[in-house]
């Protein structure tokens, strides 16, 4: 049995209104469809879109005795997804192929240092690696003229860059409602 679009919208609106039925909405949807829909409050979405620095966390190999690895990176957004330029040969790339569960803690860069943490699923994509890297560089206030674009393209190719696409399912934050 599939949920109608109106029921999904009602469940998402209930969560966004802050009345505390987020987990119940997810339970209903999962029971009926076997799928969950991201239920990220609008003010969390807006914060993620406005900022550019995050810390990634992912799972180590089963049996590892240390906590999850953490890496600070710059990112851009594509709809609700967070997209990041990473290299093919890094441990995080291999780990996320093995287990795509990921946390992304987006940091505000001014006092009182607000944050939104997204919990979601990672995908490694080979398409658009240069485009994502260019958007990240430009988001940092570094315009790319033809010469810089050419150098960046060489870097993307020589470093074997790929796109890490994170699709969030839920979020938490210290932002005021």
Residues 1 and 47 in one domain: no
CATH of the domain at 65: 2.30.110.10
Residues 82 and 145 in one domain: yes
Residues 82 and 26 in one domain: no
The whole-number pLDDT of residue 19 equals 43
The whole-number pLDDT of residue 64 equals 83
Residues 31 and 53 in one domain: no
Range of the domain at 28: 1-37
Residues 62 and 137 in one domain: yes
Residues 47 and 73 in one domain: yes
Per-residue pLDDT of the chain (177 residues; tens, 9 = 90+): 455 666 666 656 655 544 444 455 555 555 555 554 557 899 999 999 999 999 999 999 888 888 899 999 999 999 999 999 999 999 999 999 999 999 999 999 888 889 999 999 999 999 999 999 999 999 888 889 999 999 999 999 999 999 999 999 999 999 987
Structural domains of the chain, count: 2
Q: What is the full DSSP assignment across the chain?
A: -PPPHHHHHHHHHHHHTTSS-HHHHHHHHHHHHS-------HHHHHHHHH--EEEEEE--STT-SS---EEEEE-EEETTEEEEEEETTSHHHHHHHH--EEEEEEE-SSTT--EEEEEEEEEEE-TTHHHHHHHHHHHTT----HHHHHHHHHHHHHTTEEEEEEEEEEEEES---
């Amino acid at each position: 049995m599939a949920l109608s679009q109106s029921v999904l919208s009602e469940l998402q609106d209930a969560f966004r209104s802050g009345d505390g039925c987020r987990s119940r909405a997810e339970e209903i949807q999962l029971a009926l469809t076997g799928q969950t829909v991201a239920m990220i409050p609008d003010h969390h979405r807006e914060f993620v879109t406005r900022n550019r620095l995050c810390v990634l966390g992912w799972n180590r190999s089963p049996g590892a005795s240390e906590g999850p690895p953490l890496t600070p990176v710059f990112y851009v957004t594509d709809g609700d997804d967070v997209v990041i330029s990473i290299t093919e040969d890094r441990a995080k790339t291999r780990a996320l192929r093995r287990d795509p569960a990921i946390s992304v803690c987006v940091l505000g860069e001014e006092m009182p240092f607000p944050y939104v943490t997204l919990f979601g699923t990672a995908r490694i994509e080979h398409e658009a690696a240069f485009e994502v890297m260019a958007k990240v560089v430009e988001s940092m206030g570094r315009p790319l003229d033809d010469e810089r674009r050419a150098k960046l393209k060489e870097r993307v190719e020589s470093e074997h860059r790929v796109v890490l696409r994170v699709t969030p399912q839920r979020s938490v934050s210290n932002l005021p409602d």
